[in-house]
Amino acid sequence: MKFNDLKVAVYADGADIEGMKAQYAKGYVKGFTTNPSLMKKAGVKDYVSFAKDVVTAIPDLPLSFEVFGDDFETMKKEAKIISKLGKNVFVKIPIMLTDGTSTKALIKELSAEGIQMNITAIFTTEQVKDAVDALADGTKNIISVFAGRLADTGNDPIPVMQETVRLCQAKKGTMSLWASTREVWNIFEADRCGCDIITVPNSVLDKLPSLGKTPIQGSMDTVTTFAKDIKALGFSILG
């Protein structure tokens, strides 16, 4: 299968605004997501200014910005500020607080007010069900399951993603998202599961030009790279 044959929408995952602009210019990315960890890595100093700059640079694709609060009152205030940044903005709400409290009640309240959300940090189908059940009919939302991180724990993410797709399809306007992508192959896995979206970091997006190469071409590229590095080292095993 070729990249152009995929049905899953590829979103870029990052918070480096120049990198986001570069991916936007390429034309194949269908949306963008960010999170606090990515903002820290990118050195973002002012959340609202950063978000406004992104909305200005990318006005016509879905953008997800996460709340920073860890209590319902703060998160609700932040969600309202974020949602007003643009019609293409989704407010990211973690599925739980740091003390383990479910945010289902907050999701239900915000959804009833018409705020479109990206429910994030999900690992289980039970969490997916809670989030989907809390969403108001007729609203547009995203359910982000961290398939990559789930796989990192030794758990198979495929059954979870398949059930996530089924649950999301039962609630009109709710899109399933494969998050924490680790490799290009994950894009094809997400597509096979029927996911609506997959978020992909720039480090993986940069590998897309390799799609279509045969295994033999990959082998040749590898030994050629080794040969160049051997020459650059400038020394010999034989002395």
Give me the torsion for CA of 133, 134, 139, 142, rounded to 10°: -80
In this structure, the number of other CB atoms found within 10 A of the CB of residue 158 comes to: 15
- How many Cα atoms sit within 13 Å of 157 on the Cβ side? 25
**Residues contacting 100, CB < 8 A, separation 6+:** none
CA distance 114 to 136: 8
Helix-helix angle 125-134:157-169, to 10 degrees: 20
CA distance 136 to 145: 20
Residue 21 annotated as catalytic: no
CA distance 82 to 89: 8
Alpha helix positions (H), 14-156: 17-26, 36-42, 47-57, 72-83, 104-112, 125-134, 147-152
Q: Which amino acid is at 26?
A: K
CA distance 67 to 76: 9
| Contact indicator for 141, 164 with CB cutoff of 8 Å | no
Catalytic, out of 40, 77, 92, 213? 92
What positions carry a catalytic annotation? 92
